[in-house]
Structure formats: C-alpha cells, structure tokens
Amino acid sequence: MKKQILFFFPENPFSDKAGNVIRAKTNLNVLKKLGYNIDLAGIEDMYKALNDNTDFDNNLVDHLFLLSRRPSKRITSLKYWKYKIIKIFSKRNKSNPLLTAYIKGCFRELLKKKNYDYIIINYEQWTGLLDGKLSNNPVKIIDTHDWITLNEFYKNPLLKIGDRFQEEINNLKKFDRIITISQDEYFIFNSFLGGKVINIPPSFPVCFSSTSKKKYDLIFVGSDNIFNIKSMQWFFNSVYPLLPENINILIIGKICRHLEKKEGVEQIEFSKDLQEYYDVSKISLCPMLEGTGIKIKVIEALSYGLPVVGTERAVDGFSSKYANGCLISNDPEIFKDNIMALLQNESYYQNLKTQAEEYFRNNFYEEKSIQQWKKILI
C-alpha cells in the first residue's frame, strides 16, 4: 500500500507566481515520483488575499483542503460562538496572526479522518498546526524555506531578535526532520539542532538551451515582494544609467507593477511558460540587496544554462561562492562591467555558461533532490 503524505503549504503551489511557490510544486513532483499519495492543505484566507484559485494538478495531488481561520459568521451557529469564546481566552500568535485556535482545530480534525504516514509543514510560522497529540504518530517534517528570524528582521529592524530566534528554534525542535535549502542556513540550524537537519537545495530539470539567437540581453524574473522591489529600484537607479542605450532588458512577474517604463525594457506581468523567454535571453539578473535563503530565480536561470550577474546576495546558500556561473559585485560600476564583459566577449560568455551548467548539474539537478528526499522518507 502506498504511504500517505499531508503536504501543508499556505498558498496555492500551482499558481507559479513566485520562487517559493515554484519550489513547493517541484517538491510535490519529487514526492509523487517517489510513489507517495499526497493530500494538500492550505489557508483559505491566503488563497483569497492572493487571488489564488483552487485549481491543482490531480496527477500530483489527490485532495485539496482549505483551512479557514474562523467559521462562517452565522448567529445561530454553535461552532461560530464556540470560536468567539475560545478567541477571547486564546493568546494571539504574534509571529503569525492567521494561525488561530480554529485553524488548529480544523487541522486536527483533518488528521483524524485519515492516517497519514508523513506530515510536511512549509514554514516555521505554521508549526502550531501540530499542537496537541497526533494520532498514528506520523513523521513530522518541516521545510524551513528561509531563516525566518533574519527574514523578519529585514522587514522590521526593531524585532527582538533573541526572542524570535529562540521561538524559531523551539518550533523546529518539534519536528523529526528539518529541511533547509541553503547551505548557510543548514550550518546555523545544524549547530543548534544536530543531525535531524538536512539540506535539500531547490531542484529543476535540465533545460539548457541551444538557441544561439538571443532577443534579450538581460532577464529578471520576480514577484512583487519587498526584497525584489528594493533590488530592482537599486538596479534602475544605480546600474541602468551606466549601460549602453542599445541594451534589451526583459522583466517578468508582478514586480512590473512597481517599475516605471524605461527605454529598452520590456515588461510582462505573468508568463505560464518561462522557457520561451529564458531561451532567447543571454544573461539573468539578480541584484538582491536583502532577503534570506537561496535565491530560486538564480537556480532557475542556471537550469537554463544562463550566466547570472548579481550582487553578493545572489549566491546566498551556495556551497561555493565561486566557479558557479555567477559574476558578483555590490558596486554598480563593477556590476555594469560584469554585464558588458559577457555581452562583448563571446568566448568569456561561453566559458561562464559552461560553468553555470556544470554547477547546476552538480548541485541542483532534480535527480539529486529525489535521492535526498528518499533518504529522509524512511
């Protein structure tokens, strides 16, 4: 009999709108290839806030369960008034206001209906879903995605770092397996939590392009999170004015909503198939100034064999900061020089492209991820 997995991810992993979402869908692909039956759970309020539909790939997922943070508001509903009373006496979760006592109760009811062998929770903030005794004693796995304390500090410099990091470590202790995607974050969590921590970097299939004719010199793919917005504002304020006027740049994603129209810059807010654009682009941009974890957009670019020009944050989480297909600098002038060196020297470009492909095969190839997941699902 196939083993059962309950995979909790708060958003719709099939929306393809951001790197974290793409990675969640990639993990579902890997788990299905390993032969598991998978149910998906998410948060109804997040689906609505993000305008996510409830479509999912039934070749990967058997059922979708959406959890609401409160029952429907009906005066005669006993469930609603019970929720109101519990809310009065419950402490608000400061790190995750959406994690209500009602959601926890709904999740426990879900677990009573089916004996899952594994429960995979995405993001440390949702650890509270597992509060209380679990029937069938499933293996509890957390996919951290990021070092959340640092992520929250970037957004709120007044954060009490010690208290938040202690909370994060205490939450991670509740799991049997702890997955990181960044080598840097693996070192941090392994130092505190030992052997239950395993690093499984993001993975993609190989999509190296043999297309020689390129329409775009530079491509950037990103959602409209605060880190992407700051990064592209820096690029257009500090690097773009240094580039020749004939440079062709393509920007894809909701980040376009926050960018002014520029000469030589094409903007596409959404594309279901990025390959057609990566295939006709020469260099991928990653001018990240903040943010935690490995940058999915960089791994994705490497999977298409594109060299990357970025800032130091572009190679966060890499096992090697050099010989990885990326040219790195936080200095706008050097950043510009790195772009121009690749565009003007074809031999140099081909050498870095080969380096990008080799580094991808050795570190982020899908088969490698499958083998790593296989080791922890025993």
> What number of other Cβ atoms are within 10 A of residue 60's Cβ?
17
CB under 8 Å to 359, separation ≥6 — which residues? 302, 320, 323, 324, 325
To 10 degrees, what angle do helices 332-344 and 346-363 make?
Answer: 100
Per-residue confidence of the chain (378 residues) as pLDDT tens digits? 789 999 999 999 998 888 788 889 999 999 999 999 999 999 999 999 888 899 999 999 999 999 988 776 654 555 554 555 555 545 666 778 889 888 998 999 999 989 999 999 999 999 999 998 787 889 999 999 989 998 889 889 899 999 999 999 999 999 999 999 999 999 999 999 999 999 999 888 888 987 778 999 999 999 888 899 999 999 999 999 999 999 999 999 999 999 999 999 999 998 888 899 999 999 999 999 987 778 989 999 999 999 999 999 999 989 888 899 999 999 999 999 999 999 999 999 999 999 999 999 999 988 888 999 998 887
Domains contained in the chain, CATH given: 4-203+366-376 (3.40.50.2000), 216-363 (3.40.50.2000)
Please tell me what DSSP assigns to residue 306.
-
Contact status, residue 308 vs residue 296, Cβ threshold 8 Å? no
pTM for the model? 0.84
Q: Whole-angstrom Cα distance, residue 84 to residue 82?
A: 5
Cα distances from 9 to residues 65, 163, 166, in angstroms, run 11, 25, 23
Cα–Cα nearest to 367, from 197, 206, 208, 207: 206
Single-letter amino acid code for the residue at 368: K
In whole angstroms, what is the distance from residue 367 CA to residue 356 CA? 18
